[in-house]
Amino acid sequence: MHRPDQRQAHARVTAPAKDDARIWLTGAAIVIGGALWAGQGFADSHETIITNHGFSNFGELKYAADFAHLDYVNPDAPKGGEIAVWAQGAFDSMNPYATQRGTPGAYSTIGYERIMAATADEVGSEYCLLCETIQYPESQDWVVFNMRRDVSFSDGTPMTAHDVVFSHELLRDEGTPSYGSYVKQVIASVEALDDYTVKFVFADDIPRKGLISLVASTPVWSRAWYEETGAHLDETRFEISPGTGPYMLESYDAPRQIIYARNPDYWGAEHPLSVGHYNFDAIRVEYFADTNIAFEAFKSGEYTFRQENSSLTWATGYDFPALANEWVVRDVVPVGTVPSATGFLLNLRNPKFDDVRVREALGLMYNFTWTNETLQYGLFAQRESFWQGSELAATDVAQGRELELLQSVAALIDPALLTDPVVMPHTSGDRQLDRDNLRAALALMEDAGWVAGDDGMLRNDASEVFALEFLSVSPSFDRIIMPYIDNLKRLGIDAVYNRVDPAQYQLRSQTFDYEMIYDGYNSGLEEGSGLAQKYGSENVDDVFNPAGFSHPAVDELAKIVEAAETYDEMAAAVRAIDRIMRAERFITPAWYLGNRWMAYYDIFERPEELPPYSIGELDFWWYNAEKAEELRAAGALR
């Protein structure tokens, strides 16, 4: 995670903003030596003050201040039409920021913008969106955002610096508790110096790495709306604050459908970050309780874009008439992002999982090889690292700076981490139950005090059977999880598979009422202050830490990640953390896909070369009205 953020598994639909020529034609960063004028609220300083159109934690910005549009978009993409996607389950709120209650509608952050925006072809950089420029000293002790004067909310009211301060305070006080706790420690003050200037001052003795990016990611809401309605950020509701983004909530029919409409008066339509983006007049989301029903609806043209997540469906289901008639395009697109660190996750808040030997034994009963070849058509690879496929993944034996960092926390870790190769996923045979792994798991359980009785069940000294509930929500996972449950039973575990409805799963997952689930952590190509929120000991009861993982050595190394001034230092510390966490075996690594499967009706166009970090179907694809009319006439679409 690049920052402590609200946990959303949604596509990037971040609206860029329109800048006037005098800002975007100023060239590269402007360096101003000495003191700045008191009217801007800056004290006399002997530091160099940097003024720029963007910010990068490491290295240079890709785009100069006078860029016309992002490299990967079609600046002449036409506007119009609708894209329709699907979501599973139900929703009972349109407020995505009430992270500990309710189920928000899909893409419900779409109407809100942040002070600065990232791109899909760069790592660790943000560009001014709601601001014109930013200013900060070389020490990064503070940052000033010079806000734009032409930004308006969707209700037509202007956005000011006072809305920014209000939004920061609202998110701090009513957002995710771990976020509020963190920003209270690192941000000393926030002040609107005037109607269009905001200054964030950072606390003393706090590493500066990532702090500018943190505050630049602040979403901005209407202070007037919150004051008039008396609404709170942490409550479930359908009435929502107006945003400054390119889309607005047009209608909803809970729990079946949501429609977002492009704001015809969007203030940022001509901004260089917006050119070629936000091309659909409407984005429609259709909800289905069952994945099979959802697929049938796609085949009949009830919705038009589908990102496939079932290997069974991808391998065997795409033989329907619309595909044969070439009405539907089937596509595979590689992605450069780090896959989520998902797998069979144990809730470490439960003392039965305190012993790493128990955790390893439970993991040994999952057979990736058999599962992938037999049930998933050989389409996946097995995840090894929490930062799979990136320079942040630990490999072989620790060396160089990574080893030095591990040695600095040697008193807190297993000495084997200094000398042995990094923990890799166990290997399994081509039968569902790998007997070598079964014997190894039995030995580990016995060493941990769980011994098999005459009935084959594992019991402790108090004659208690080792029971385990696997909590699930998706019917499509039944065929994958049930063989794992069967293997656990062969080990002597009283294993139960419990699939519940989405509302119950949401409640139980939010309250950590589970023993084992399929879940994980979001990882990024660059890590910073958000790392402690995911894995820090102070955040074991945070929604971003589903396993409740904590480790004193990780706490110390996370401080180095946060304070790192170079990419290499950050990467070495993350690799050390990866090595430690893999040895803790609190997630049994499952499958991952290095590309995305998607199918869509042939009514859309997209750039020939997609950027490495986004497919962009809702962001920079566009609608072909002529093709849509042809398919509609042919009866392909509803």
What is the mean pLDDT for each group of 10 consecutive residues in the chain (638 residues)?
A: 32 33 31 35 69 92 96 98 95 89 92 97 95 96 98 98 98 89 93 98 90 95 97 93 97 96 97 98 96 95 95 95 96 91 97 98 98 95 95 97 98 98 96 97 98 96 97 91 98 97 89 96 89 87 91 96 90 98 97 94 96 95 97 92
Q: Identify the pLDDT of residue 144.
A: 98
Sign of CA dihedral 329, 331, 336, 338: positive
Instruction: Match 């598994």 to its residue by tokens.
Output: 9
Alpha helices in 254-393 (DSSP H): 291-299, 311-316, 321-324, 356-364, 368-370
Q: Identify the pLDDT of residue 98.
A: 86
Q: How many CB atoms lie within 10 A of CB 335?
A: 16
Structural domains for the chain: 21-74+89-229 (3.40.190.10), 247-336+594-633 (3.40.190.10), 341-451+469-477+510-592 (3.10.105.10)
Closest CA to 219 of 174, 257, 252: 174
Largest distance between two CA atoms of the chain = 83
Please give the C-alpha separations between residue 328 and each of 298, 543, 618, 624, in angstroms, as whole numbers.
10, 38, 18, 14
Sheet holding 595-601, edge to edge: 305-308, 595-601, 328-334
Q: Identify the pLDDT of residue 45.
A: 57
The pTM of this model reads 0.82
Residue 44 CB burial class (10 angstroms; 0-12, 13-18, ≥19): exposed
Q: Identify the pLDDT of residue 37.
A: 35
Q: Identify the pLDDT of residue 24.
A: 30
